[in-house]
Structure 1
Amino acid sequence: MRQASGRAVRVNGRTVHVEETGSGADRVVFEAGGGMGRTCWDPVLPWLTDRAGLVAYDRAGFGRSGRTATQLSIEDLAADLVALVEAVVPDRFVLVAHSMGGLVARRAAEGLGRRMQGLLLLDPAAEGAPVYDTFDRTAAKVDRSLAVTQALFRSRRLARLASGNIRRLFPADTYEAMLAEDFVPSGTAQTRKEIKAVAAAIPVFRADPPAPPACRTILLSASRPQPGRARHHADLAAHQRRWAESLPDGRFETVDSGHFIMAEQPEIVADRVEHLLAHTGRAGAGSA
């Protein structure tokens, strides 16, 4: 998988690194969660390579993408996603997003319109959950911790030790790419920026939520909480369910997994993408 080659694409004055694999008339675009890039989708892609063209990318500032000097907002990242789709996706597509990427995807959906024929969200941030009531303070604490991590990541040995939880979840070649591209000081600096972007976005999303996606939407919620986070996890899942079931064509599912569903349950993720692609095909045929 890590033999995939990519290309640089200009979006809104920034450069993002894009890898396009798979084959087929349909397209699937992948939006990673905070602190991660295109490589986090490696476990899922082999299940779909014969079904559709697959587009995975690093957001500006991450991985092989160009570095950013300014603080980007969730709106900026959503605008980059829209520009990327316009640049590399010729027709309809399904969008898959994880965690913080769910905020980006929901905001981008407003600009993508009916070209986005399906949306799959993996354990996405749900701004209405009580855990986000004090997220500004949480973000400040996380930033202080990441400042230490950023310094530690100057050492490959310490970076490997600090990212052991990721090493256990992903294939060895994927993890090595992450270690070289993401778990480095510049990658941690960008993660800190994205956490600040989420903290700024929460009150905005609460006051003025993005319009509901105009397509079939599936939300997969992780069933296994982090240690000591059971109550927060239950509240988050309840808000994820409430949001998904409020949609005209939304579906909520609980998956036997931790937060990184694409690594722990790639077959399920691929199956739901297949479902959305099949629905897209029927919708396209019906409207022809």
Structure 2
Amino acid sequence: MTHTQGEPDWVVTRDGRRLHAMVLPGPGGVTGPTVVFEAGAAATRSSWATVQPEVARSTRAIVYDRSGLGRSAPDPGGRTLRRMADDLNDLLDHFGPGPYVLAGHSAGGPIVRQAAARRPERIAGLVLVDPTDEAADVLFGRAFRTGERVMIGLGTSLARLGLLKVVFRGLLRDIPDDVRRDLEREAFTIGTMRTHREQARTFLDELAVWRHDPPVLADIPVTVVSGGRGGDGMSAGVRARANASHAHRVALSPGGRHVIAERSGHYVPKTEPEVIVREIVKML
């Protein structure tokens, strides 16, 4: 492989947009599920760079950029949960009939849940990594929404000044050089913040509806990996409520597992990738 995250591929959505993916094929002769990774709100495929290659020791592992992030074309139709889940299902169609294990971090958690609920027959399991979850009441208060708007506005200003990567410089440490170059070129742009703002415009309102009408996952196994510490923008109180929502999520799944990444805050793929790898491999 010429890149840590594999060979590039391009997926055409049902309305003609092109999504950029990268594929690690896994060992020869493997017939188990393919693992597809869904990044967080403003994150690109590169956020999985320390997890995907380790999973690829066991099976095919695919990362991609949602529309308007990384190298994928923006979406003129908006960035609702429904459209993002449709895009993920289009990507799964492109790579074959499955089965698939879907891994979603943060805001990627609801996206993989919705995509799985639409086509459950091809989903072997979900691994949700510190996911946003509608069972967390804190998401729907005025303070959280105000804070989100402020952070997106600040991020946009910093991106215009070329300073956004300074704030997230910790994410650029201890990763392969090719992935770091990708992040520096693609992850801290005005376009990224524009997409983040468009996603946030409807995300919490859509998620609030799920409190009464959630996606039905039937008997799909669900593992949730929670950060064990505050930080990364989460106070100890918010962390406790987030983890309680994660425990609720697994309680609704047959054979659900709740795993705490004890040394991590929100960015578990960066701080404890081995915990995620272990839980994904258990699904295969």
TM-score by length of 2: 0.89
Counterpart amino acid of 2:229?
R
Match of 1:44 among 40, 47, 51: 51
Match of 2:35 among 28, 36, 42: 28
Match of 1:252 among 241, 251, 258: 258
Comparing 196-205 with 52-61, greater Cα deviation is found at: 196-205
Match of residue 9 from structure 2: 7
Aligned length: 275
SS at match of 2:154: helix
5 Å matches for 1:60-139? Answer: 60-134=67-141, 138-139=144-145
Comparing 171-180 with 120-129, greater Cα deviation is found at: 171-180
Task: Judge conservation of contact 1:6–1:19 (CA < 8 Å) in 2.
Answer: yes
Task: Judge conservation of contact 1:17–1:65 (CA < 8 Å) in 2.
Answer: yes
Q: Deviations over 1:42-61 (max 9, x none)?
A: 10122122311111100111
Match of residue 281 from structure 1: none
Counterpart amino acid of 2:48?
W
Counterpart amino acid of 1:12?
R
Pair 1:31–1:3, CA change in 2 (3 A): closer
Task: Judge conservation of contact 2:140–2:204 (CA < 8 Å) in 1.
Answer: no
Task: Judge conservation of contact 1:132–1:202 (CA < 8 Å) in 2.
Answer: no
TM-fit CA distance, 1:131: 0.7
Counterpart amino acid of 1:190?
T
SS at match of 2:211: helix
SS at match of 1:209: coil
TM-fit CA distance, 1:234: 0.4
Pair 1:212–1:118, CA change in 2 (3 A): same
Task: Judge conservation of contact 2:4–2:53 (CA < 8 Å) in 1.
Answer: no
Q: Which runs of 5+ in 1 are unaligned?
A: 278-288
SS at match of 2:21: strand
Match of residue 196 from structure 1: 201
Q: Hey, what's the Cα distance between the residues in 1 that align with 2:172 and 2:49? A: 13
Q: CA RMSD in A?
A: 2.0
Q: Return the structure number with greater helix share.
A: 1
5 Å matches for 1:190-229? Answer: 190-226=195-231, 229=235
Pair 1:228–1:272, CA change in 2 (3 A): closer
Q: Hey, what's the Cα distance between the residues in 2 that align with 1:56 and 1:20? A: 7
TM-fit CA distance, 1:38: 0.9
Counterpart amino acid of 2:86?
A
TM-fit CA distance, 1:162: 2.3
Q: Hey, what's the Cα distance between the residues in 1 that align with 2:190 and 2:257? A: 39
Q: Hey, what's the Cα distance between the residues in 1 that align with 2:52 and 2:172? A: 18
Task: Judge conservation of contact 1:99–1:125 (CA < 8 Å) in 2.
Answer: yes
TM-fit CA distance, 1:124: 0.7
Q: Hey, what's the Cα distance between the residues in 2 that align with 1:133 and 1:111? A: 25
Instruction: Confirm or deny that 1:242 pairs with 2:248.
Output: yes
TM-fit CA distance, 1:165: 3.5
Pair 1:197–1:89, CA change in 2 (3 A): farther
Q: Hey, what's the Cα distance between the residues in 2 that align with 1:233 and 1:79? A: 30
Task: Judge conservation of contact 2:5–2:53 (CA < 8 Å) in 1.
Answer: no
Match of residue 160 from structure 1: 165
Q: Which runs of 5+ in 2 are unaligned?
A: none
Q: Hey, what's the Cα distance between the residues in 1 that align with 2:18 and 2:69? A: 10
